[in-house]
Structure 1
Amino acid sequence: MAASNNGHFFKDQKFMKNLISSLLIALLFSLSISSCQDSKSPELPSGAEYSEQIKKIIEEKNAKIETWYAAGLIDSVASYFAEDCIQLPPNQPPIIGNENFKEMWNQNIEIGQWDFDLSTEKVKASGDLATEYGTYTLSFTPNENSPIPAMTDHGSYVVLWEKIDQEWKVLWDAPVSDLPLPGSGPETSPQE
């Protein structure tokens, strides 16, 4: 009789070990699944409401940029541009990097006053990137040193903004003039 109790005891002990092992495996499996789910990246802010918030920030920055260009404060303008910024001025090579941006625009203000009127039409933002589409008007008033005459330009632009160290900065700036190049009328169009 003692032998049968021992056999039953060992069977119960073996059953308990199997049960505990199975429960531990199930627990570890569920913990590993939940830890995988917890390690997911948080959802990036995006959508119409977020884009509207960023649009307001960009409009405030553009108002300062307009004022600083008119006053010839290029270092202040450049503070809103990323170190590796790229500006694509119409009919000119790209200006690459913040230092080159400052150098080029400091040369420009030596020959006259540049007045910009920037109008942000749309902003699409997601996370730390935002794309701005807008229109601009530019008036240039030359001084006595200017090799170019007074001019007015208008067109559209696309700007890629990036949030760098909690501050929105211009990464790429691409204005597109609506005005045709001199001599680019239909009589000078390429032949088909």
Structure 2
Amino acid sequence: MLLVATSLTLASCDTPNEQATAVPPEAAAPADTAAEEQAIRAQVARWHDLIKAKDAAAIAQLYVEDGAFMPANAPIAKGRAAIEQNWAGLIATPGFDLAISPEQIVVSSSGDLAMDRGTYRLTVAPDGKEQVEIGKYVVVWRKVEGEWKAAADIINSDLPPGGG
């Protein structure tokens, strides 16, 4: 028994200590936040192109699997299937047009989370008469397997309750 205990003790001495060899978080190289911001801006441009193409399925793929889309005056859409359904209904509205303008993108120093704040202009004509809504949005981005995906997307109108 003593021989087994001694062998285990000696074996553990030969194994490097994980904590001693692990790179402390503060020693990890900081993310290139400017490059990450540009990558997010590219995703926003792609999103805008997919909106113009009215491709709800591809838009839903811009979200993380458990993402949330929180449109103004509508229930939350949780998960890609619900997000796709929500976007499909929105882009099917007659006269639909949506322009997105990011104003500020802040990337975490770790480079795995970001916040995108901006404005939008939505045009629809459900009854043949054009209606324009101006508003603002916030998207929380999460980097998943090297690609930026929307984790939470909320929009709200600048119009007063009841549409003004």
Which AA in structure 2 matches 1:57? A
Which AA in structure 1 matches 2:30? P
Instruction: Give the counterpart of 2:141 among 143, 161, 164.
Output: 161
Alignment of 1:84-95 (within 5 A): 84-95=66-77
Instruction: Give the counterpart of 2:21 among 38, 43, 59.
Output: 38
Which of these two proteins has the greater Rg computed from alpha carbons?
A: 1
Gaps of 5+ in 1: 1-27, 185-192
Structure scoring higher RCO (CA < 8 A, sep ≥ 6) equals 2
Q: Are the aligned partners of 1:72 and 1:113 in contact in 2 as well (CA < 8 Å)?
A: no
Instruction: Give the counterpart of 2:118 among 134, 139, 144.
Output: 134
RMSD of the alignment, in Å?
2.4
Q: What does residue 68 of structure 1 align with?
A: 50
Query: Which is worse superposed, 174-183 or 107-116?
Result: 107-116
Which AA in structure 2 matches 1:88? M
Q: Are the aligned partners of 1:160 and 1:170 in contact in 2 as well (CA < 8 Å)?
A: yes
Q: What does residue 82 of structure 1 align with?
A: 64
TM-score between the two structures when normalised by the length of structure 1: 0.66
Looking at structure 2, the residues matched to 101 and 63 of structure 1 have their Cα atoms a distance apart, in angstroms, of: 19
Q: How many residues align?
A: 146
Q: Taking structure 1 as reference, are residues 148 and 179 closer, same or farther at Cα in structure 2, changes over 3 Å only?
A: farther
Gaps of 5+ in 2: 1-12
1:149 CA displacement: 5.1
Q: What does residue 98 of structure 2 align with?
A: 116
Alignment of 1:166-181 (within 5 A): 166-181=146-161
Instruction: Work out the percentage of aligned pairs sharing the same amino acid.
Output: 27
Alignment of 1:43-58 (within 5 A): 43=28, 45-46=30-31, 50-58=32-40
Query: Which is worse superposed, 76-85 or 62-71?
Result: 62-71
1:183 CA displacement: 7.0
1:101 CA displacement: 0.7
Looking at structure 2, the residues matched to 183 and 174 of structure 1 have their Cα atoms a distance apart, in angstroms, of: 18
Looking at structure 2, the residues matched to 117 and 180 of structure 1 have their Cα atoms a distance apart, in angstroms, of: 20
Q: Taking structure 1 as reference, are residues 52 and 88 closer, same or farther at Cα in structure 2, changes over 3 Å only?
A: same
Query: Which is worse superposed, 116-125 or 82-91?
Result: 116-125
Q: What does residue 16 of structure 1 align with?
A: none
